Chains A and B, each alone.
Chain A
Amino acid sequence: MKELVLVFITSAFVSNVVLSRFLGLCSFVGVSKKIKTATGMGFAVVFVITIASAAANLIYDFILDPLNLEYLQTIVFILVIAALVQFVEMVIKKYSPALYNALGVYLALITTNCAVLGVALINVQEEFNILFSIVNGVATAFGYLVAITLLAGIRERMENNDVPKAFQGMPIVLITSGLMAIAFFGFSNLKF
């Protein structure tokens, strides 16, 4: 149990997926203008990463590993993730229109978000079993949700600020992210 908590804290905060591993950076900068869209994107990522890390782990443990096909992992994972996102989108559309309205737009944006493939590969690299893989997936996605919501909050507050002309747009977002990354460094001294 203690190890599970440790994995969670490490993946969510200490090596945050965006601020320290630089995965999913495109959507982090691109969809963080408003808190509402940012949280929508964040929850969609939580949803997809959780399912994808479970699916990727099952496929690795029960198909690729027994058949000595580990070298196919990159190809298999990316295809599984792409198909899975499409499938989840169809299922949600059919059975829960309310959830589809909330997440649908963002689901399409996630297919090739490198965070999803990244988590699946990290799970294999760390030799996590299915339980640890899911916890690691949830934690990574939670870290993404926290980071993108914080950034969106800061950007909303910054809208009326007098930013130097050259720094308007992307540069100031990157500086904000850099300062957030410094803040997240504080977590690396957590002791248990």
Chain B
Amino acid sequence: MSKQNKEKTSLLEPFFNGLIKENPTFVLMLGLCPTLAVTTSASNALGMGLSSTAVLVMSNLLISLLRNIIPDKVRMPAYIVIVASFVTMVQFILQGYAPDIYEALGIYIPLIVVNCIILGRAEAYANKHSVGLSVMDGFGMGFGFTIGLFLIGAFRELLGAGTIMGFKVTPASFEPAGIFVLAPGAFFVLAALTAIQNKLKLPSATNGSATRSELACGGDCLSCHGDTCADNKSKLEASKNNK
């Protein structure tokens, strides 16, 4: 009985870790491109979040299964192929069953491949943990990302169009500020969010209070420029020393 209990808590731990403690949108600040680009409405944000979750769970599952088979030297190309395959599948599923979402998200669906969260979790978590834990980590991180996108999307849609998920919620006297659903609005909303986090000293990668070392990209997208992050860092350091 006690053993079963232990198993349970250890499976739930990575789930809540991704959902709250290391929330990819609010705490780790990963995947900024989709965060800004597709949050023009709550439904787009939800579509993007769920697509990324599906890819993340499947790629975590497969990478965790293959973690002892993939040679260490070629692991990044292998991860990229795995992730890209699942992204292509998700793209076809959306095209077939949710053509509206597919049209609205457009080019950002194939670009899930280069989302820092997915390769980051593959490298930092699925590579080292068992299948069950990796899948739960995928669900936690995925839902954390989805909730983050949904909240930002709902906020922008409410201010910019006066609707949430397409339903009118504001009184007729409220004049929507259209800029919030346009590109500049995305920057302003994220700026306000990070400023509030700084002010309240909430854990966030942008003010250096969240964990950085455990993750592939050092924890935040701003210092992440690709799959060879540690490598990049040493190169940048070396170039600094040369000057």
Asked if A112 and B111 make an inter-chain contact with CB atoms under 8 angstroms apart, the answer reads no
A111 to B114, CA, bound (A): 10
With a CB–CB cut-off of 8 A, which chain A residues contact B119? Answer: 112
Evaluate whether A108 and B226 lie within 8 angstroms (CB atoms) in the complex, with A22-B33, A114-B114, A171-B194 already known. Answer: yes
Instruction: Report how far A113 CA is from B182 CA in the complex, Å.
Output: 23
Interface contact A181-B187, CB-CB below 8 Å: yes
The residue on B at minimum CB distance from A166 is B199
Q: Does A30 contact B (CB under 8 A)?
A: yes
Chain B interface category by residue count? 35 or more
Q: Mark B114-147, 1 if CB is under 8 A from A, else 0.
A: 1010010000000000000000000000000000
Count CB-based A-B contacts (< 8 Å).
147
Q: Which A44-100 residues sit within 8 Å CB-CB of chain B?
A: 71-75, 78-79, 82
Q: Which residues of A contact B225 (CB under 8 A)?
A: 26-27, 30-31, 108-110, 112-113
Residue on A nearest B38 in the bound complex, by CB:
A22
Known: A30-B225, A172-B191. A23 touches B239 (CB 8 A): no
B184: chain A residues within 8 A (beta carbon): 178-179, 181-182, 185
Indicate if the CB atoms of A174 and B190 lie closer than 8 Å.
yes
Chain A 142-178 interface 0/1 with B at a Cβ cutoff of 8 Å (1 = within): 0000000000000000000000011111111011011
A19 within 8 A of B: yes
Distance A74 CA – B225 CA, assembled complex (angstroms): 19
Contact A171 B192 (CB under 8 A): yes
1/0 per residue, CB under 8 A from B, across A101-126: the answer is: 00011001111111001100110010
A37 to B232, CA, bound (A): 15
- Across the interface, which residues of B come within 8 angstroms of A114, CB to CB? 33, 111, 114
Task: Report, as a range, how many residues of chain A touch the other chain.
Answer: 35 or more
Chain B residues closer than 8 Å to A23, beta-carbon distance: 33, 37, 111
- Give A183 to B170 CA distance when docked, in angstroms: 29
Q: How far is the CA of A177 from the CA of B36 in the complex (A)?
A: 12
**Which secondary structure dominates where chain A touches chain B?**
helix
Q: Is the CB of B84 within 8 A of A75?
A: yes
CA distance A25 to B221 in the complex (A): 9
Question: A29 in the interface, Cβ–Cβ < 8 Å?
Answer: yes
Q: Are A105 and B110 in contact (CB under 8 A)?
A: no
Known: A108-B232, A110-B226, A174-B188. A167 touches B114 (CB 8 A): no
> A109 to B226, Cβ gap below 8 A?
yes
Smallest CB–CB gap between A98 and chain B, Å? 14
Contact A22 B36 (CB under 8 A): yes
- Interface-located stretch among B46-54, B62-70, B87-95: B87-95
